[in-house]
Structure 1
């Protein structure tokens, strides 16, 4: 008896839908996957409420997702909402509206649970080994940091410092100014003190970037070198040399919106936020002296899926 599962990850910037089939052997077969730049945090994240336009975009996207889910006959639907919804003053009424219009029940998860699911997703991608790694997942609303290896999590925390929040705070001119870059780094230095203490204790050597920003950095790096393989199929696990990251990073800082948009491999939905996210990656690499970057295309939704299967 095969079972079809639909997973929705309602991020602050992007909504993801993944539909998979589980066969009798418990093997997964991906049937459908999409991501939509809903920008749920736009126009509201800094005052703690979901803006009406953002809410309308979200509901429209979820109605479309519902149609797709029904067309695939998925029996189980799990929808998870993260930073934007859990912090929004109107988050509860938003979740009720979704149920009313789409019959989708949304689970609003806290930062610790989000970090845990990301860990299971990254672990399923096969990028972890016995070395201590620092997983970094840069969302629009929050950033999750997980110190771990393939066996276990040593420490995890979610910080409400996502790229949309950083953008609202520091992206005052385009290209970004040296003052804004310094201000973002000083802000991260201050806000990430718990991470700094944990890094001193567990001493990670590898940065593992989870999905999103990191996928795009790898795409840009690959195309810059004339490697088009990622445009056909996105690998589940990748590596990004630290010096290659810095080549892309400098380019992002130097260019304005339209120039960044013209970079091969750039996604329109990331074109501005990636600047702030890239500064955060630079901060983490430099501050914690990490020598290697690995990238997992799997993140939250794959983690939820693997946990569901494990419980079966």
Structure 2
């Protein structure tokens, strides 16, 4: 008897971006899943509310609209299993549970709101499918809109992990309300001081485990890679792993800090939704590189949803 192929949809509802990955699961051991669709939508769930602990009405309706669109794709591809996870914005928002309920009522999709430690674990699972982490500790970093996860791990083992509520939307709200769109020196200094205070546990962990390189997962790192390449790559075109040069990163940082909003949007490789957020995210990345003397930067297009898939496949 011929059974229908098992098709799986993985949804990662981030604070900035919602991602959808649809795959056909392998029928033979050792086979790879067949990727049918990989897409994303800039929902900006944290905009206008995350720093006050709520999802703003416009962001709430964008989320529902996006999930209805994802449901159409899911139906179109004959998916028979859906795993949807939500992270920082949904964890901390007073109306996050309402959104979970409304998504279920409107689409039938059950959303699992996952804690930061679980998020960090899945990010490592995803990153190691794209990047050879080797046998020495690496510092893995995922700058989200609401939270930033840091993981110190090699190919086989997580040595330390922590999720910090210092995502790019929060940093933007706190340090950079762009009047002319250029970050003032005082705000830059204030962000760096704040990071030094917030990231004390990371300093202790790095001193103990001594990671040898930085691996950045998705989001901001994809855009930094696109800036170095000089063009935007669609979600489906993103190479799983890219090596970023330190000089290229420093040049991007200099541009991000010296150009106004319109000039940043016009940079070849800029994803317009990230034109402001990338400023504070790049300051965070620069702080990490400088504080820990890391010179090797690799970016992974794989993160949470690929981690979830790897876990389901037992990879």
The two structures have a TM-score, normalised by structure 1, of 0.96
Contact 1:222-1:230 within 8 A present in 2 as well:
no
Alignment of 1:186-265 (within 5 A): 186-223=193-230, 233-265=237-269
Q: Which runs of 5+ in 2 are unaligned?
A: none
SS in 2 for 1:283: helix
By how many angstroms is 1:126 displaced? 2.6
- Equivalent pairs counted in the alignment come to 307
Asked if 1:310 is matched to 2:300, the reply is no
| Superposition RMSD in Å | 1.4
CA distance in 2 between counterparts of 1:268 and 1:35 reads 14
Query: Residue by residue, what CA displacement relative to the aligned partner does 1:155-190 show, whole Å, maximum 9, x if unpaired?
Result: 000000000000000003321011111110100000
Q: Residue deviations 1:121-163, cap 9 Å, x none? A: 0001033111210000000000000000001000000000000
- Any residues of structure 2 matched to 1:156-171 within 5 Å, and which? 156-171=161-176
The match for 1:40 is: 45
> Which of residues 100, 107, 122 is equivalent to 1:117?
122
Q: Does the Cα contact within 8 Å between 1:127 and 1:237 map onto a contact in 2? A: no
SS of match in other structure, 1:176: coil
TM alignment of 1:81-92, pairs within 5 A? 81-92=86-97
In 1, the alpha carbon distance for the partners of 2:238 and 2:73 equals: 22
Q: Shift in Å at residue 99 of structure 1?
A: 0.5
Asked if 1:62 is matched to 2:67, the reply is yes
Cα offset for 1:23?
2.3
Shift of 1:230: 5.5
Equivalent-residue separation in structure 1 for 2:175 and 2:254 (angstroms) = 17
For structure 1, the residue ranges without an aligned partner over 5 or more in a row are: none
What is the TM-score of this pair, normalised by structure 2? 0.95
Aligned counterparts of 2:192 and 2:301: Cα–Cα separation in 1: 26
